Amino acid sequence: MKATIITIGDEILIGQIVDTNSVSIAKHLNAAGIVVREKISIGDDRTQIIETAERALAGSEVTVITGGLGPTKDDITKKTLAEMFRSDMRYDERVAGHVEKMLAERGIEFNELNRSQAMVPACCTVLFNAHGTAPGMWFERDGHVVVSLPGVPFEMEHLMEDEVMPRLKTRFALRQIVHRTMITAGLPESMLAKRIEAWENALPPYLKLAYLPNPGAVRLRLSAYEVEGESVAREIESRFEALRRIIPHNIIGFETATMQEVVHKILTERSLTLATAESCTGGSIAARFTAMPGASTYFLCGVVSYSNESKAELLGVDPADIARYGAVSEQVARQMAEGVRRTAGADYGMATTGIAGPSGGSAEKPVGTVWIAVATPRETVAILKQCGTDRGQIIDRASAFAIGLLRDCLNGN
């Protein structure tokens, strides 16, 4: 089973909004065993809508369209689809009553534009939108299905869950798609591929491996298409268990697992405490921990010591060392980690100091240079990392590397 997703709206094409609808729709379809062959974004243009929808119908059994279903003149999707399917429009009393009731609750007058929401193509099955005024629509032609949904994300989401997916599962005999993703850290993509080359070569042909790098992590996804779910799921688990024996120290977990969740679990279970001192990462590390429920049991404080003065006054860094070695140096990183550990009375202190750019770099210390340190009850460990050239990328990578170093220190590696 193949599907095409079409998002409609000039606001998407000009970058005014981010298209999250196609991501959500793809997840729903994939989970049901429907492979998304393409995602297309187009403007509010009649000809473009017809040409794109016709092309999707020719190549996919299912086409899902979102956007362009509002009450204003620039929302043309409904009329265009009626034209495409050679259908007259009809007035749907249930939709009209629902729209009028919703507007009355908000103190909005039910005018002609709102009334037009109840006009739908006569050939479609109306998908009742309990959370908005624009109904969804279900069309069929030659065994293929076209679904049109509102562009408002939470309205689209409810219609996908409550109306579209149950109908698709009834309409088609779907076979399962199985995905399982292992999260690894500590090995760049190329080194990881080399380390697990023999394991990868031994995979059966129906299992497809994808490398998905993220800042500080590489996700390994095994996928099987149109299969019997339970037996393949067991095979995937067996393959990943074999991989665990090859790279035992580099596995964080599965699916959406993060390094900070691993550290969160260790600190909580061992009743240990943590404090952070950040310069170039600007509080990103502290934010990652405090975003998790239960962080208050171990996270004592976070200091953003951006200036040299704050490093000295708040953390006890020796100004002579800053002058001699520079703020971005192993000596300063170590003193920052030790200082925040001492000041907060924490079991562990961690620190970052670096050059996030775009200016401030030099031949000796280019943009992206970051020193990271972790002070433990036994010792202080410091590492030097080159975290890229883009400011946002540098902050993300440095934060991930720092949390990874803390994990290693907690595990005695």
| pLDDT 10s digits, 266-323 | 999 999 999 999 999 999 999 999 999 999 999 999 999 999 999 999 999 999 999 9
Q: Is pLDDT above 90 for 348?
A: yes
Least confident residue range of 169-178, 354-363, 376-385: 169-178
The pLDDT tens digits for 241-258 are 999 999 999 999 999 899
- In this predicted structure, what is the pLDDT of residue 126? 96
Structural Rg of the chain based on CA atoms: 27
Q: Structure tokens of 385? A: 């990392």
Phi-psi region of 253 (alpha: psi -120 to 50; beta: other; left: phi over 0): left
The pLDDT of residue 72: 77
Beta strands in 150-207 (DSSP E): 176-184
Which pLDDT score, from 0 to 100, does residue 114 have? 77
Q: Which one-letter amino acid corresponds to residue 347?
A: D
Least confident of 9-13, 72-76, 199-203, 353-357: 72-76
Q: For a pLDDT cut of 90, what percent of the chain falls above it?
A: 83
pLDDT for 215 beyond 90: no
pLDDT at residue 109 in the model: 82
Which of the four pLDDT bands, split at 50, 70 and 90, describes residue 228?
A: low
Which region, left, alpha or beta, applies to residue 344 given φ > 0 means left and ψ of -120 to 50 means alpha? alpha
Does the structure show a pLDDT above 90 at 216?
no
If pLDDT is split at 50, 70 and 90, which confidence band does 7 have? very high
Nearest to 63 by CA among 163, 161, 168, 150: 168
Q: Enumerate the β-bridge partners of residue 173.
A: none
Average pLDDT, rounded, for the chain:
94
Q: Are strands 35-42 and 2-8 parallel, antiparallel or unpaired?
A: parallel
pLDDT at 412: 87
- In angstroms, the CA 61 to CA 3 distance is 6
pLDDT, one tens digit per residue, over 48-94 is 999 999 999 999 999 999 998 877 777 899 999 999 999 999 999 99
Question: What pLDDT was estimated at residue 229?
Answer: 61
